[in-house]
Amino acid sequence: MSIYDINNIAELIRDNSYVGRGIVIGKSADGKNAVSAYFIMGRSANSRNRVFVERDGVLYTEPFDASKVEDPSLIIYAAQRRFENKLIVTNGDQTDTIYDGLINGKCFKGALKSRAFEPDAPNFTPRISGILEFENNDFTYEMSILKSADEKGTACNRYTFSYEPLNGLGHFIHTYIGDGNPLPTFLGEPERIAIPNDIDEFTDSLWDALNHDNRISLYVRYTNLENGQEVNRLINQNKAG
């Protein structure tokens, strides 16, 4: 097995009942589109009581049934938003931390210095984040994970990965490597995965591979690098009616 192998994302996660929340960033095989994806999963009733909603170009997680919300602090947030020529995507309210940091002249990594993993002992769920920066009909991207240094949440380890995009290659980072109690944290570098040209092919493959009992929502965006046109797909397990 080579470090340059490119995986099929569906094959990576199909037999994994709980990868948690995941971010994918990369470039379509034909080099025409920047691709980003974000999905959420959940085991508890509180976590499963969510949907993705897009308003004014911002992607939010919101309650499906507001009357059943137990603790909104870690499950309700803006998951994706733009700042100038940058697209931010994260698994928590650090989306706004990055956005505010950029406004104040900070970089992606610098903005996240004020944040740490989630305070949900004993899991200490990692905060995962990504940013795409568009320029000259192309883009670059970074990904970050903030995770506990030990089982007690004593300190935070911070990892940032910077990429120049390659046609057909994406990187995939997620919060957990599988189910468990406590949940085992993601390890290593973001995984290399194939990015097809067709948004529906990618969306359907990813959604179908997510565990059907634990999947909640998925959002995929293809951004045309020549004209900036965006095509989105949004799927919610919870549906009205």
Please tell me the distance from the alpha carbon of residue 105 to that of residue 154, in angstroms, as a whole number. Answer: 30
Q: What letter represents residue 234's amino acid?
A: L
SS3 47: helix
Query: Is the bond preceding residue 165 a cis peptide, omega within 30 degrees?
Result: no
Q: Which pLDDT does position 240 carry in this prediction?
A: 67
Please tell me the distance from the alpha carbon of residue 147 to that of residue 222, in angstroms, as a whole number. Answer: 29
Among 64, 36, 88, 78, smallest CA distance to 203 is for: 36
pLDDT digits (tens, 9 = 90+) for 114-159: 999 999 999 999 999 999 999 999 999 999 999 999 999 999 999 9
Q: What is the DSSP code (8-state) at residue 18?
A: -
* Spatial contact of 175 and 129, defined as CB atoms under 8 Å apart: no
What is the full per-residue pLDDT of the chain (241 aa) written as tens digits? 788 999 999 999 999 999 999 999 999 999 999 999 999 999 988 889 999 999 999 999 999 998 888 877 778 899 999 999 999 999 999 999 999 999 999 999 999 999 999 999 999 999 999 999 999 999 999 999 999 999 999 999 999 999 999 999 999 999 999 999 999 999 999 999 999 999 999 999 999 999 999 999 999 999 999 999 999 999 999 986 5
* Spatial contact of 195 and 170, defined as CB atoms under 8 Å apart: yes
Neighbouring residues of 72: CB distance < 8 A, sequence distance ≥ 6: 63
